[in-house]
């Protein structure tokens, strides 16, 4: 199946929001899981699942932009995914490059800025080059930020932050009491981003698999048995509607939340 959605390009017009922006999550993060199982159930190669999964990515990006969600973060490749076969890794990187190329025009037309978090230097040179090029070309876009987590691990991110803070202390540019929650947040790969409001995981697994460990402290979770290649606009909208019905208390009581509103 080609990555390109029948060559069709869509421009999402300004002000055409599907739902009332009230209580819309500002930041949605997704653990896109289940591509391999989707393929296996059809007697196909795992890579086929990744390829069809790329179509779900396209739909979810479009739907997010239509809704007016400002931040969308997708877990595309974890630090632990390096354990996969060379064949699968190579196929995933190729799919990523194809996706970046095929989506550039639409990202530009719709004001979507691309960024990446993770240990990007571990990716192969060709993939890094296309990634850097897409990031640069979309840098001025302001409507939505699409963040791809690539070679990403939450613990590794926190470890990198510890090292950075420790060296600032060693250089005496930071005092230990200046290590605050904000200072830690600022030292993460996500320094410029708000924490996710909604964390979606497909394929029915109840785990976070080392994704945004610090940042999801108060995220609302939505777990669906749907496998990622089947997770399309309709179910994404269901997840958003589900989120909108929730009461976020952040440790306070329902009454306290109501009196503040
Ligand atoms: C998610 O699907 C994609 C990546 C982790 C890159 P999987 O490949 O993990 O699919 P399952 O979990 O084996 O079904
Ligand atoms: C999480 O899925 C990583 C991505 C979606 C990129 P995995 O399939 O790698 O996670 P586990 O192994 O089920 O925890
Ligand atoms: Mg998986």
Over the stretch 230-248, which tens digit does the pLDDT of each residue have?
Answer: 999 999 999 999 999 999 9
Domain that holds residue 85: 22-152+196-246
3-state secondary structure 14-56: CCCCCCCCCCCCCEEEEECCCHHHHHHCCCCCHHHHHHHHHHH
Q: Which of 35, 45, 81, 160 is catalytic?
A: 81
State yes or no: pLDDT of 15 exceeds 70. Answer: no
DSSP classification of residue 192: T
Instruction: Select from 7, 143, 8 the least CA-distant residue to 66.
Output: 143
According to DSSP, the β-strands at 27-31 and 198-201 are parallel
- Asked whether residue 187 is assigned to any structural domain, the reply reads no
**Ligand 2 pocket check for 231: Cβ under 6 Å:** no
**Ligand 2 pocket check for 207: Cβ under 6 Å:** yes
- Asked whether residue 186 is assigned to any structural domain, the reply reads no
**Ligand 2 pocket check for 209: Cβ under 6 Å:** yes
- Asked whether residue 226 is assigned to any structural domain, the reply reads yes
- Asked whether residue 173 is assigned to any structural domain, the reply reads no
- Asked whether residue 69 is assigned to any structural domain, the reply reads yes
CATH number of the domain that 49 lies in? 3.40.1180.10
- Asked whether residue 190 is assigned to any structural domain, the reply reads no
In tens, the pLDDT along 74-91 reads 999 999 999 999 999 999
Pocket-forming residues, ligand 1, beta carbon under 6 Å: 32-37, 77, 81, 92, 203, 228
Name 125's Cβ contacts closer than 8 Å, sequence gap at least 6. Answer: none
Instruction: Say if CB 24 and CB 244 are below 8 A apart.
Output: yes
- Is position 110 annotated as part of the catalytic site? no
Name 58's Cβ contacts closer than 8 Å, sequence gap at least 6. Answer: 5, 99, 103
C-alpha 134 – ligand 1 centre gap (Å): 25
- Asked whether residue 55 is assigned to any structural domain, the reply reads yes
- Asked whether residue 70 is assigned to any structural domain, the reply reads yes
**Ligand 2 pocket check for 79: Cβ under 6 Å:** no
Q: What is the pTM of this model?
A: 0.93
Domain count, the chain: 1
């Amino acid at each position: 199946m080609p990555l390109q959605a029948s060559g069709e390009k869509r421009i999402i017009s300004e002000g055409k929001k599907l739902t009332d922006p009230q209580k819309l999550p500002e930041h949605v993060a997704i653990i896109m899981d289940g591509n391999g199982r989707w393929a296996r159930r059809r007697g196909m190669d795992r890579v086929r699942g990744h390829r069809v999964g790329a179509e779900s990515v396209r739909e979810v990006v479009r739907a997010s932009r239509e809704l007016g969600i400002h931040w969308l973060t997708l877990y595309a490749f974890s630090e632990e995914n390096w354990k996969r076969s060379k064949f699968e890794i190579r196929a995933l990187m190729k799919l990523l490059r194809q996706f970046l190329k095929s989506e550039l025009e639409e990202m530009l037309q719709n004001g979507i800025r691309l960024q990446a978090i993770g240990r990007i230097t571990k990716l192969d040179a060709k993939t890094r080059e296309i990634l850097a090029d897409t990031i640069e070309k979309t840098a001025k876009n302001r409507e939505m930020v699409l963040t791809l987590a690539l070679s990403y691990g939450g613990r590794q991110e926190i470890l990198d932050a510890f090292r950075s803070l420790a060296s600032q202390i060693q250089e005496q540019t930071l005092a230990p009491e200046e290590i605050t929650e904000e200072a830690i947040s600022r030292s993460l790969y996500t320094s410029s981003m708000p924490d996710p409001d909604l964390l979606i995981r497909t394929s029915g697994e109840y785990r976070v698999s080392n994704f945004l460990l610090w940042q999801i402290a108060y995220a609302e979770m939505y777990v669906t048995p749907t496998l990622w290649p089947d997770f399309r606009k309709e179910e994404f909208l269901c997840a958003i509607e589900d989120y909108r019905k929730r009461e976020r208390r952040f440790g306070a009581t329902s009454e306290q939340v109501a009196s503040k509103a």
